[in-house]
């Protein structure tokens, strides 16, 4: 046998060298306006038997596996007991396994207490990738995130209290040029309160199946930010962040400018890189439009 992935398959850039296992298919919410990732899929939990068979096969073929990423969009929707069963099997079959990670959506935390999710952390799910997207409630409403910033901060607090590391994603350009500053400032404020281990800034790209954004925003003048506006937005975000000890990255394929550094230690250096690119629109630091991808 082999692992038969149900496509399309997505993973965070930092999981490029991880074994990917689809514990679930699709996303329970599947409505965020900017996200077309799982539009073709109906959310379902895969039978434990199928997942265990793939783990057993991979354990024979790739016995040195150290990292596993549980897909799809919010594998953390699985019941804590099912997650613990999968994690126990993974750590039993891969003796060198160091970390297992998964996407988590705000909806996964709604009816769960810290005590509910702690056993999952103790069984070896080490980090959750959490999509904050924006710290501004009006923007969250427009993109149909179906939650508020305050509720997402509370979800992240639960995750931290249970012992999980967090990698939080935000999306540059979500609010168009008019709302850019507001989006960046509110997002910085929320990130300062969450204090995740990692922050990943992605840049909005519209896919052919994306909804009409001017309608999403109720603003006929809404448009995608150009590279300079995007750099200004990320600059506002960084300037307004004060929390310490966070790794900040914008190295996703969608970004115009790849940044990586530690906040606050490298903040000034990151801002200088942004300013260098802002002063020279032809800077080799900037990724050409044709090389960007979702």
Binding interface with ligand SF4 (CB under 6 A): 27, 29-32, 35, 37-38, 73, 105, 131
Which of 71/184 has CB closer to ligand SF4?
71
CB of 267 to ligand SF4, least distance (A): 27
Residue 58 CB partners (closer than 8 Å, separation 6+): 3, 19, 21, 65, 93
Nearer to ligand SF4, 146 or 157 (CB): 146
CB of 126 to ligand SF4, least distance (A): 20
Q: How far is the CB of 26 from ligand SF4 (least distance, A)?
A: 8
**What's CA 267's distance to the chain center, in Å?**
21
Q: Which is nearer to ligand SF4, 211 or 245 (CB)?
A: 211
Q: Please, what is the minimum distance in Å from the beta carbon of residue 72 to ligand SF4?
A: 8
In the bound state with ligand SF4, the residue whose beta carbon lies nearer, of 107 and 232, is: 107
Residue 262 structure tokens = 């530690």
In whole angstroms, how close is the CB of 22 to ligand SF4 at the nearest point? 14
Residue 132 · residue 194 · CB < 8 Å: yes
Q: Is the dihedral of CA 272, 278, 282, 286 positive or negative?
A: positive
- Other CB atoms closer than 10 Å to residue 73's CB: what's the count? 25
| Residue 290 CB neighbours (<10 A) | 6
- Identify which of residues 65 and 155 has a Cβ nearer to ligand SF4 in the complex: 155
Distance CA 9, CA 95 (A): 26
What are the residues whose beta carbons fall under 8 Å from the beta carbon of 4, sequence distance 6 or more? Answer: none
State both tokens at 192. Answer: 């300062």
At residue 286, φ and ψ (nearest 5 deg) are: -85, 130
Looking only at the bridges linking them, the beta strands covering 24-25 and 44-45 are antiparallel
- In angstroms, give the least distance from the CB of 239 to ligand SF4: 26
Distance of CA 220 to the CA centre of its chain: 29
Closer CB to ligand SF4, 12 or 261, in the complex: 12
């Amino acid at each position: 046998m082999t692992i038969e992935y149900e496509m399309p398959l997505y993973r965070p850039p930092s999981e490029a060298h991880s074994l990917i296992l689809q514990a679930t298919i699709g996303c329970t919410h599947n409505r965020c306006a900017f996200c077309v990732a799982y539009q073709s899929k109906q959310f379902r939990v895969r039978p434990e038997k199928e997942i265990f068979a793939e783990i057993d096969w991979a354990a024979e073929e790739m016995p040195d596996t150290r990292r596993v990423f549980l897909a799809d969009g919010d594998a953390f929707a699985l019941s804590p007991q099912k997650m613990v069963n999968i994690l126990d099997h993974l750590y039993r079959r891969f003796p060198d396994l160091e970390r297992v990670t998964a996407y988590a959506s705000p909806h996964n935390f709604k009816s769960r207490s810290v005590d509910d999710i702690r056993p999952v952390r103790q069984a070896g799910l080490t980090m959750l990738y959490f999509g904050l997207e924006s710290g501004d409630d009006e923007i969250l409403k427009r993109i149909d995130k179906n939650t508020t910033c305050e509720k997402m901060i509370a979800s992240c607090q639960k995750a931290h209290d249970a012992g999980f590391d967090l990698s939080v994603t935000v999306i540059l350009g979500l609010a168009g040029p008019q709302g850019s500053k507001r989006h960046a400032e509110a997002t910085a404020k929320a990130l300062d309160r969450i204090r995740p281990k990692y922050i990943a800034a992605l840049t909005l790209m519209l896919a052919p199946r994306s909804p009409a954004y001017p309608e999403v925003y109720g603003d006929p003048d809404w448009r995608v930010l150009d590279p300079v506006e995007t750099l200004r937005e990320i600059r506002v975000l960084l300037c307004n962040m004060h929390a310490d000890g966070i790794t900040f990255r914008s190295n996703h394929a969608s970004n115009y400018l790849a940044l990586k550094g530690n906040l606050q230690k490298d903040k000034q250096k990151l801002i200088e890189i942004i300013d260098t690119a802002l002063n020279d629109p032809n800077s080799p630091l900037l990724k050409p439009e044709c090389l960007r991808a979702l």
